[in-house]
A and B are shown apart, each in its own frame.
Chain A
Amino acid sequence: MRKWRCVICDFEYDEALGMPDEGIAPGTRWEDVPETWSCPDCGAPKAEFQMVEVAPAA
């Protein structure tokens, strides 16, 4: 499982945790997060802004 960091505000998306509040189940891979999803903290869109990979697959 990997983590992805928003380049604007440093929010981290953790694939292991997902975003259950937003209907993204724990374990959802980054590739499977909808393209319309945006950073929940600052609103940076997934499609337009690459998240930085912080931890490679273990």
Chain B
Amino acid sequence: MSKLLPGAWRDGKRYLWLLGIAAMALPMIGGVLAERTGLSLFWWFTPLFIYLGVPLLDALVGEDRNNPPDAVVPALEKDRYYRWAVYAAVPFEYASLIWGAWTAATQSLAWWEYLGLAISVGMATGIAIAIAHELGHKTDPFEQWLAKIALAPTGYGHFYSEHNRGHHVRVATPEDPASSRYGESFYAFLPRTIAGGIRSAIAIEKGRMARRGLSFWSWRNDVLNAWAMTPVLFTALVLAFGWKALPFLLIQAVYGFSLLEVVNYLEHYGLCRQKLPGGRYERCQPTHSWNSNHVFSNVFLYGLERHSDHHANPLRGYEALRHFDGSPQLPNGYAGMILLAYCPPLWFAVMNPKVRAHYDGNLSLANVKPSLRARLPLQGAV
């Protein structure tokens, strides 16, 4: 409970983390602004704020490379405040979803307003996958359930299982559907990661259930019990507000999980772990994830952008994640990088030189798109 941590160090971001909760409320803020001003544009408030405001704020506020000193980390990780700052975001995610479904079904919106509402709520439920991510890494059953609840609006319940037991195991290898390859555009990556993630999650749970002597159809199957929440939730909202809520629910879900996938795209682009003589991959190091220390988008995403430390130390709480000098750095926060990813020629122009520089020009060490690998001059290859 105490704010005082050992030594003189104080967490400068302590209260800023609450902005993660505000992010969940953005669609409702947009709705109020649209109502008050009569301007339709405000139905698009959330994407406008995230895609224009956040990259600008990231550029203006800049980076924070400060790390909590090792001595305070145990106290920092025990401080329940940081956990409650995450839990509190989930009710706001649901408030936005329920308010959005009600608005879509009962208010007479023009189609572009309806679409703006669905995209706005999809951004909130998509960002909520970062919340589910923070919760799903913990071993506390309450946090694990809350993670699945936070995933239900996007229908991405399998993320809970696939992320920890699939993605973290295979990250930055050609086998991982959620690690993007050098030369692969976001639009080529998107169907590969969606299909690959679902396939992987089902295979993981099949194996887990079999090892425990249970049927795949057991309620303990973490893919099935998480998925089951989505139809229950959507049916309840349609019954409560009417059929006009259904397109809204589907659009926000697809947009929400696509937002997660574009973030996956930029987290490990081109980076690769090397195989050890025994055939296993080397351990995941901070150099196997792109990192970003941009303050503003980091507080919005519970430190997710300090991704290098996260993959090397996946159980570390967001408040204790560190910057590593050796880890490759993204030139902007995730919001700005998403815009680049949506435009592949720009993405390649910015990121391909960074991947080449990271491997000193030796692309045989990178995770390269197979069709490109055959044609690459693998300079310096041993």
Contact = CB atoms under 8 A, between A and B. Distances in A.
Contact of A42 (B211, B278, B280, B314): B314
Contact of A43 (B165, B168, B207): B168
B280 A43 contact: no
Contacts of A40: 280, 283
A7 B314 CA distance: 14
Place the interface of chain B in its size category: 20 to 34
B312 interface: yes
A10 to B, nearest CB: 6
Contacts, number: 43
A44 to B, nearest CB: 6
B207 A10 contact: yes
A10 B208 CA distance: 8
Given A8-B164, A10-B165, A21-B276, A43 B284 contact: yes
Contacts of A42: 164-165, 168-169, 314
A10 B314 contact: no
Q: Which of A7, A10, A41, A43 has the most CB of B within 10 A?
A: A43
A1 interface: no
Interface in A2-58: 7-11, 20-21, 40-45, 48-49
B41 interface: no
B314 A44 contact: yes
Interface in B167-206: 168-169, 204
A36 to B, nearest CB: 12
A8 B144 CA distance: 12
B211 A10 contact: yes
A9 B276 CA distance: 20
B164 A9 contact: yes
B315 A48 contact: yes
Contacts of B277: 21
Contacts of B311: 43
A43 B208 contact: no
B168 A9 contact: yes
B313 interface: yes
B134 to A, nearest CB: 15
Contacts of B278: 20-21
B214 to A, nearest CB: 14
Interface in B273-320: 276-278, 280, 283-284, 311-315
A28 B164 CA distance: 27
Sorted nearest first, the 3 A-B pairs with minimum C-beta distance are: A41-B169, A42-B168, A9-B165
Given A8-B139, A21-B277, A49-B315, 14 more contacts: A7-B139, A8-B165, A9-B164, A9-B168, A10-B204, A20-B278, A21-B278, A40-B280, A42-B169, A42-B314, A43-B168, A43-B312, A43-B315, A45-B315
27 contacts: A8-B139, A8-B164, A8-B314, A9-B164, A10-B165, A10-B207, A10-B208, A11-B169, A21-B276, A21-B278, A21-B280, A40-B283, A41-B169, A42-B164, A42-B165, A42-B168, A42-B169, A43-B168, A43-B284, A43-B311, A43-B313, A43-B314, A43-B315, A44-B314, A44-B315, A45-B315, A48-B315
